[in-house]
Structure 1
Amino acid sequence: MATEASKTNALRSPEFFETYLSGRVIDIGAGDDLVVPHAEIFDQHQGDANHILDYREPVQYDAVHSSHCLEHMNNPQQALKDWWQLVKPGGYMITVVPHEDLYEQFNWPSIFNGDHKATFRMGTDDSWSPVSIDIVAATQALPKAKIIAKRLYDENYDYNLLFPRGQTPKNHRTFLNRQISSIARRLKNRDYRTKILKFQLARGYPIDQTAKSDALAQIEIVAQKRK
């Protein structure tokens, strides 16, 4: 999701950047979509984020940011712990991950991204997913962590296009369905686009609303490391 950070940034306030993304910042898994211009990029060319402490020293950053990267880690909970070690006392970690219901839509393995290793829920006990992680609890369990903010980003997400739980999805990557999706995403008229997407859904094809659109389906956790 190469543009998810930009889509999220458009909804963040100036105070968010001033408070949580000042000083020395590392953006893990940023690709070409840095959260702030002064952030240090850490992506595949810089090393393996599964083992970030092999490449970066602990307690060096005022802020650690990652957007749609944690779900690609082989051991997401261990990766989160390692990333947390990079944060200075008093600093922040901002973690953005897909919401398992809105993005994975009750199906595992992931329909839309075969590289996903885990799904994420937001402070709930139950999950349909066999690999679900409560990102709130996982963050709260980090040493000296204080959760400052937690937010569900579902802006422009149409819940009427959510794939029905318990229904077996058809392969949405068939040539014809991909062509229909491509046409729908190019339509500027949202009503026409929605009609086409509902047609696909009725035929049993799941819809990734976040692909090449302004819809979001994610969780954001901001944690501070107490001094």
Structure 2
Amino acid sequence: MTILVTEARKTNAIRGDAFMERHFSGLVLDIGCGDDPVVPHARRFDRQDGDANRILNHLAPAQFDCVHSSHCLEHMSDVPAALAQWWALVKPGGVLVLVVPHEDLYEQGVWPSLFNSDHKASFRLDSPASWSPVSHELRALLSALPDAAIEEIAVQDHGYDHGLRRPIGAWGRGLYALGSWRSAVMRRLFGGGAAVGWADRLLTRLEQGLGRPVAQTDGAALAQIQAVVRKTAASGPPAA
């Protein structure tokens, strides 16, 4: 059986037991986790449960010790408004643990996103300006939340090969689109067996040698920012 290695699972592998125990021992909500919650006892909230942009229409505020979300905020139509509602779910003294893709490492200077067409926003850390027209500086975004104290915030690029990053022009975008189409056709015609997977990887490497951009997070690499924000006092919920 093939197990999908999600970004959350890759992140858990580097967090360590102390981090997991400190933040995920109480009542946990995991937004956008699909079938792979950050911890087994977490309550899941995904598309089938409602609109995460307006999560207060579905859940009462100030009830969770931890709200966790990995690679979901970039899919929201209004990032500050959605984040404010997620924050309202955190109890006083609780934490928001948030992971988002780093725009330079993940998007690699191209917008709309080459690697995920559903991305509606991008994120940077401690950089005053961005090439992206929809960029959010994460520290400022989190600092604007009421009663928020940022305990940890850092870029996570474990396993990321910075030497593979290169300017992506029309040639690179075209090669990536062609390669993605070729992979889909191979799977449709020949299935998903080991031989097809091997051939697909070989052809992908050949295309990358010609200038196809590398989506490093398809493998073991991380290209993200993680933040831990504690709620220091009671805050009223924003308007739903």
SS of 1:45's partner is: helix
The one-letter amino acid paired with 2:163 is: N
CA deviations over 1:56-110 (Å, ceiling 9, x no partner): 0000000000000000000011111110000000000011000000000000000
What aligned pairs does 1:105-124 form with structure 2 within 5 A after superposition? 105-124=108-127
C-alpha displacement of 1:200 = 3.2
Task: Return the index of the structure with the highest Cα Rg.
Answer: 2
- The 1:55/1:105 distance shift into structure 2, 3 A limit, reads same
Report what 1:39 is aligned to: 42
Report what 1:204 is aligned to: 211
Distance 2:68 2:100 in 1: 11
C-alpha displacement of 1:205 = 1.4
2:114·2:173 contact (CA, 8 Å) conserved in 1? Answer: no
When the two structures are superposed, what TM-score results if normalisation uses the length of structure 2? 0.83
SS of 2:117's partner is: coil
Q: Identity of paired residues, percent?
A: 50
- The 1:108/1:26 distance shift into structure 2, 3 A limit, reads same
Report what 2:90 is aligned to: 87
SS of 1:139's partner is: helix
When the two structures are superposed, what TM-score results if normalisation uses the length of structure 1? 0.88
What aligned pairs does 1:24-173 form with structure 2 within 5 A after superposition? 24-164=27-167, 167-168=169-170, 169-171=172-174, 172-173=176-177
Unaligned 5+ residue runs, structure 1?
A: 188-192
Question: What count of residue pairs does the alignment treat as equivalent?
Answer: 216
1:51·1:82 contact (CA, 8 Å) conserved in 2? Answer: yes
Distance 1:16 1:200 in 2: 40
Distance 2:128 2:102 in 1: 14
- The 1:86/1:2 distance shift into structure 2, 3 A limit, reads farther
Unaligned 5+ residue runs, structure 2?
A: 187-195, 234-240
The runs of at least 4 aligned residues of structure 1 exceeding 4 Å deviation read: 184-187
2:67·2:96 contact (CA, 8 Å) conserved in 1? Answer: yes
Report what 1:190 is aligned to: none
C-alpha displacement of 1:170 = 2.8
- The 1:126/1:185 distance shift into structure 2, 3 A limit, reads farther
Larger helix percent: 2
Distance 1:16 1:177 in 2: 41
Please identify, of 34-43 and 15-24, the stretch whose mean Cα deviation from structure 2 is larger: 15-24
C-alpha displacement of 1:163 = 2.8
- The 1:90/1:5 distance shift into structure 2, 3 A limit, reads same
C-alpha displacement of 1:161 = 1.1
1:163·1:207 contact (CA, 8 Å) conserved in 2? Answer: no
CA deviations over 1:130-154 (Å, ceiling 9, x no partner): 1000111101110000000012111
SS of 2:50's partner is: coil
1:64·1:92 contact (CA, 8 Å) conserved in 2? Answer: yes
